[in-house]
Structure 1
Amino acid sequence: MKAIKAAAVQAAPVYLDLHASISKAERIVAEASENGAKLVAFPETWLPGYPFFAWLGSPADSIGHIPEYHANSMELRSPEMLRLQTMAARYGVTLVMGYSEREGGSRYMSQVIIGEHGEILLNRRKLKPTLIERTIFGEGDGSDLVVVDSAFGRLGALNCWEHMQPLVKMAMFAQHEEVHVASWPAFSLYRELAYALGPEVNNGASRQYAVEGSAFVLAPCAIIDAGVFDKLATSSEKAMLLNPQSSAPGGGFAQIYAPDGRAMCEPIPQDQEGILYADLDPSVITISKAAADPAGHYSRPDVLKLVLNRESRRVMEEVGRPNHAGFAVIPLEEAEA
């Protein structure tokens, strides 16, 4: 691994507006690059925004939002993705973007890792959407549970409560991950009803991941802002569920953690947008792994061993021609063509 400056984003997208959100992302990436960042990480489904509406009413009420949400979700091979690839290349950063991926009539909670030359290193889908998310999104599979070689080291990413699943985490640790992006939505939803959805538990999960994996963890986190309230808080009850403290913005709790569990940044107030920066020194990983390398001397494969199924699940496989169900690197020039 090379020493770099990394950036974790705490901001709201332009809710349910894919194109405006990409434009906002470029302003954020430009600022991060100007400040020396070589890695910029965005929250879960930041494009076009997390589907908070699924938590606020009946299934019938939620369905009414699906056409707009689907239309503003993004396809992997699309002009919108090309904008992100061009952005990464223009500013010379590795970009990790959380987005709602549209494929046919379905959506997936995806993270794309784009290299500093605009090439797509990985596109992955959340293995198991959490609770009510399953009414909006499909499931991923093991084909893209991958740690990639980036310009600076071994880089991986997971979404939200994937950080609560021990076997998923072990699959990442075993690939010698050095830098990890833990993407989260905002942490104000259901604060008085479900403590486990709040910042204390979820930031704790990011911190624990850093210690368990002996890796740097960037934990970008979105904000529930006025744009979300304007669209979704159509009653006092829904406003309370979105943010029980007030109808003002909130829920932003981004942080960056060192392999020894230390918070590396002063937090940004939860109702404010900004970028957190940290200098990642690979020697800290070496020191941490000297005590406990989860994929090396601190493992016991003779007692416990993980089996990972890399099969890509597709409804159709064509016989007699190459099977492109798996993911391959998409160079920028190919995407432009």
Structure 2
Amino acid sequence: MSGTYRVAAVQAEPVWLDADATVDKTLALIAEAAARDAALIAFPETWIPGYPLFLWLGPVAGQMPSIARYHANSLTVDGRHLAAIRQAARRHGITVALGYSEKDHGSLYMAQSVFGADGALVLHRRKLKPTHVERTLFGEGDGGDLVVADTPLGRLGALNCWEHLQPLVKFAMYAQHEQVHVAGWPSFGLYRGLAHALGEEANMAVTQTYALEGGCFVVATTQVLGPAGLEVFAPTDGQRALLSPGAGCSRVYGPDGRRLTEPLDEHTEGLVLADIDLGLIDLAKNAADPVGHYARPDVLRLLMDDRPRSVVRVPSASPGPVFPDPDEPEHGSAAGTEDEAAAV
């Protein structure tokens, strides 16, 4: 792969709290991106089974039915859903950066996995610090989750949502000489007009800053909130008043901070496409490389512990999640379709 290729940022609505249906939609978007000559497709934060907006819309007691459904529709790393997505990546020859709720026994994590064009795992990570009420549902990642992978598409990394507001987290990524960054976001329809920090303007500003500071391309991908989402999350007038439909704003930024894509309407589902040239990174960093010639390690340095953590240390055990070979017979397609299994 040369340094010039096409990327696709998803702007779409999940099938809320339904893993099977959202994986089917995921497979269709992967096929569409490949047909439009994209080498990389990026999906939003917790795309599967959708961002849990119910956390922000009422007391905990009333959330229990939604929490049970969310757990039931979260993905395991060795399950059929991720196997189907890996199969699709390999079949279409496209790298897939996926955001999803990962279920690890009784705990959930805001995960991102990248699968290469051969279906192999490129990286897997968990959100280091879930934001605000997210911490009532999701566990935390650790230093092993701040990783940039060397791939045929360049040095590729990913963060979720307000991880882009944490300066030391960003610097840890920049220091790994990231070239292409996936920024996973939910929709920006929550508390619109009431909480500026949750809106499009503020969060796209920090995304653009990430591209400029890191001297890298940023593929920002967002969810759309439509009538189906309002029906699931906001049955009362008070809850509907806290949500605005639409709120998608996927885009791609260049290493000089320029936006490289025209926006879709906030209510429109689709792919936002950009052709990127990794050679432009050298030009951007010639002016300011925060982890190179523009750094002052004699004054400021980051102390980072990148060791994975576990509540039990078993010397014979391998740390981290295990992604089995999706070709194994026990792994079918997410929706159980024969076509998906036969096409691999």
- Fold shared by both chains (TM-score > 0.5): yes
- Which residue of the other structure, out of 300, 304, 311, is the alignment partner of 2:296? 300
1:269 partnered with 2:269:
no
1:3 matched to which residue of 2? Answer: 4
Partners of 2:215 and 2:330 in 1: CA distance: 38
For 2:235, what is the secondary structure of its paired residue?
coil
For 2:186, what is the secondary structure of its paired residue?
coil
Contact 2:78 2:323 survives alignment (8 Å): no
2:30 matched to which residue of 1? Answer: 29
- Which residue of the other structure, out of 249, 252, 263, is the alignment partner of 2:248? 252
* Cα pair distance change 1:262/1:313, threshold 3 Å: same
Deviations 1:313-337 (A, max 9, x none): 2111224x2x312357766557978
Contact 1:120 1:330 survives alignment (8 Å): no
Contact 1:116 1:151 survives alignment (8 Å): no
1:144 matched to which residue of 2? Answer: 145
Partners of 2:210 and 2:237 in 1: CA distance: 37
Unaligned runs of 5+ in 2: 332-344
- Which residue of the other structure, out of 286, 290, 310, is the alignment partner of 1:314? 310
Partners of 2:61 and 2:286 in 1: CA distance: 54
Contact 1:121 1:330 survives alignment (8 Å): no
Aligned ranges 1:107-126 → 2 under 5 Å: 107-126=108-127
Partners of 2:134 and 2:50 in 1: CA distance: 13
Unaligned runs of 5+ in 1: 244-248
Q: Percent identity?
A: 48
For 1:168, what is the secondary structure of its paired residue?
helix
What amino acid is aligned across from residue 46 of structure 1 in structure 2?
W
RMSD: 1.5
Task: Single out whichever of 326-335 and 5-14 deviates more from structure 2.
Answer: 326-335
For 1:15, what is the secondary structure of its paired residue?
coil
What amino acid is aligned across from residue 161 of structure 1 in structure 2?
W
2:53 matched to which residue of 1? Answer: 52
1:91 matched to which residue of 2? Answer: 92
* Cα pair distance change 1:241/1:269, threshold 3 Å: same
Report the alpha carbon displacement of residue 73 of structure 1 after superposing the two structures with TM.
0.2
1:229 partnered with 2:221:
no
Partners of 2:262 and 2:153 in 1: CA distance: 24
Aligned ranges 1:315-334 → 2 under 5 Å: 315-319=311-315, 321=316, 323-326=317-320, 332-333=326-327
For 1:65, what is the secondary structure of its paired residue?
helix
Contact 1:122 1:144 survives alignment (8 Å): no
Report the alpha carbon displacement of residue 53 of structure 1 after superposing the two structures with TM.
0.3
Deviations 1:240-298 (A, max 9, x none): 1111xxxxx31101111011111111100001101100011112111001011122111
Contact 2:128 2:145 survives alignment (8 Å): no
For 1:220, what is the secondary structure of its paired residue?
strand
TM-score (normalizing by structure 1): 0.95
For 1:324, what is the secondary structure of its paired residue?
coil
For 2:223, what is the secondary structure of its paired residue?
coil
Report the alpha carbon displacement of residue 61 of structure 1 after superposing the two structures with TM.
1.2
Partners of 2:25 and 2:192 in 1: CA distance: 28
* Cα pair distance change 1:328/1:149, threshold 3 Å: farther
* Cα pair distance change 1:39/1:54, threshold 3 Å: same
1:13 matched to which residue of 2? Answer: 14
TM-score (normalizing by structure 2): 0.93
Count of aligned pairs between the two proteins: 330
Superposed structure 1 runs of 4+ greater than 3 Å apart: 326-337
- Which residue of the other structure, out of 273, 280, 305, is the alignment partner of 1:284? 280
Partners of 2:296 and 2:113 in 1: CA distance: 32
Task: Single out whichever of 210-219 and 146-155 deviates more from structure 2.
Answer: 146-155
What amino acid is aligned across from residue 26 of structure 1 in structure 2?
L
Report the alpha carbon displacement of residue 64 of structure 1 after superposing the two structures with TM.
2.5
What amino acid is aligned across from residue 154 of structure 1 in structure 2?
R
Deviations 1:162-220 (A, max 9, x none): 00000000000000000000000000101122001000000111100000000000000
What amino acid is aligned across from residue 19 of structure 2 in structure 1?
L
